[in-house]
Amino acid sequence: MVRGLYGRLFAILLAACAVAGCDDDTPTIPTTPTVPVTETFTGQVTQSGSSMHNFNTSRGGAIVATLKAIGTDNTLVVSFALGTWTGAACSLVLENPAATGGAILTGTMTGAGTLCVRVGDQGNITAGQPASYTIEVTHPE
């Protein structure tokens, strides 16, 4: 009789342990990690001018804009900015008014939206000799 009691007690303890390990939350589907998108923009800036490019993000995350090249030797000083596209203009949020080749702007977007990156002359571009540039922007897709 004692042996039967211990057998039942063991079975009850085993069932209790199995139930305690269970969780009645709804199973979650693992999310796919997002891979940042890198876009490259090129163009030319004229004397007293500026050039802007828009790009979209579908979610929040880190935004990194790099002025990869400006002018013939990357020493030309220009304005380099990152902002939010308002539908009519680029509302600047981050700006380096004395950027040269290799300058980096870093920010964080809290959600989806349209952003803009801008390069502008600071009085260093000669008339009739526009400066070529390359900008690389990495952002959430």
Domain extents for the chain?
Answer: 37-139
Q: Which of 40, 34, 33 is nearest to 65 (CA)?
A: 40
- The distance from CA 105 to its chain's CA centroid, rounded to whole angstroms, is 11
Q: Which of 53, 50, 72 is nearest to 119 (CA)?
A: 50
Whole-number Å distance between alpha carbons of 44 and 131: 5
CATH topology for the 37-139 domain? Jelly Rolls (2.60.120)
User: What are the backbone dihedrals phi and psi of residue 52, each rounded to the nearest 5 degrees, phi first?
Assistant: -130, 150
Q: Which pTM value belongs to this model?
A: 0.76
Give tens-digit pLDDT for 7-45: 454 445 444 444 445 555 555 665 656 789 999 999 999
Task: Mark the ranges of the chain whose per-residue pLDDT is less than 70.
Answer: 1-33
What pLDDT was estimated at residue 14? Answer: 44
Q: Is there a contact between 130 and 107 (Cβ–Cβ < 8 Å)?
A: no
Contacts for 111 with CB less than 8 Å, ≥ 6 apart: 59, 60
